[in-house]
Amino acid sequence: MSPFMAEMIGTMLLILLGDGVVANVLLNDTKGNNGGWIVITTGWGLAVYVGVVVAGPYSGAHLNPAVTIGLAIVGKFPWANVAPYIIAQMLGAFLGALLVWLMYYNHFQRTNKPDSILAIFCTGPAIRNYASNIISEIIGAFVLVFTVFYIAGAQITPTKTPIGLGSVGVLPVALLVWVIGLSLGGTTGYAINPARDLGPRIIHFIVPIKSKGTSDWSYAWIPVLGPIAGAAIAAVLYMQLK
């Protein structure tokens, strides 16, 4: 499998299972309705595990433009490969969100809460304050990328980025995303991944859903720029501490 295909499929699985657990908790008449935040954060953590297991051997399983950009900043990933990886991640996010819509189609039809429907596809703030919201995303992404550097450690080279390889690498990445959700996710829903938010938000805008409201484009820049800024800060600090 090529790195491009691995990033696309890995991100697709991440979004299918991550957005899928949100759908299972928020949509009407599902088996998991009202399962709560613990179910959502656990589902997202395990979704990362699945995506990393599949993509890791072929692409390093970035599955996140912030991770890709952070690795490039520290000189551990070629800048020439950044755009192809991000394109693959976005395509995977599109496909994963589309599959969630197909999977839960009947339940979308029975749900008349536009905010809940939007929350399945993308994040939103608990309290809308753009300054605080972007700080939340910066902090969450900083913790993600900074810790990923230490999980991968010396294994990372400019031609090989085994973020999820080996028995040691896969589970810590999943646990990392889980604890970010549990500890830091209450303010904005912890996008910490531009593709994870923007790709499904576009699908929400496109697909027909009976009670769909706005896609909240006025907020959409925060889960894109915040994680990139957090990754950049993590990269700079990591280089200083090496």
Alpha-helical regions (H) of the chain: 3-26, 37-59, 65-73, 82-103, 105-109, 114-121, 130-152, 166-184, 194-206, 222-241
pLDDT tens, residue by residue, 8-59? 999 999 999 999 999 999 999 999 999 999 999 999 999 999 999 999 889 9
Quote the CA–CA distance of 156 and 163 in Å, as a whole number: 8
> Mind listing the domains of the chain with CATH numbers?
3-241 (1.20.1080.10)
The DSSP code for 200 is: H
- Mean pLDDT over 67-85 rounds to 94
Percent of the residues in the chain that have a pLDDT greater than 70, as a whole number: 93
Cα-Cα end-to-end distance for the chain: 33
pLDDT tens, residue by residue, 78-108? 999 999 999 999 999 999 999 999 999 999 9
**Token pair for residue 15?**
């979004």
Q: For the whole model, what pTM was predicted?
A: 0.93
- 63: closest CA among 103, 120, 4, 22? 4
Distance of CA 89 to the CA centre of its chain: 10
In the prediction, which pLDDT does 150 show?
87
Q: Name 130's Cβ contacts closer than 8 Å, sequence gap at least 6.
A: 219, 222
**How many other β-carbons are positioned within 10 Å of the β-carbon of residue 82?**
17
The DSSP code for 157 is: B
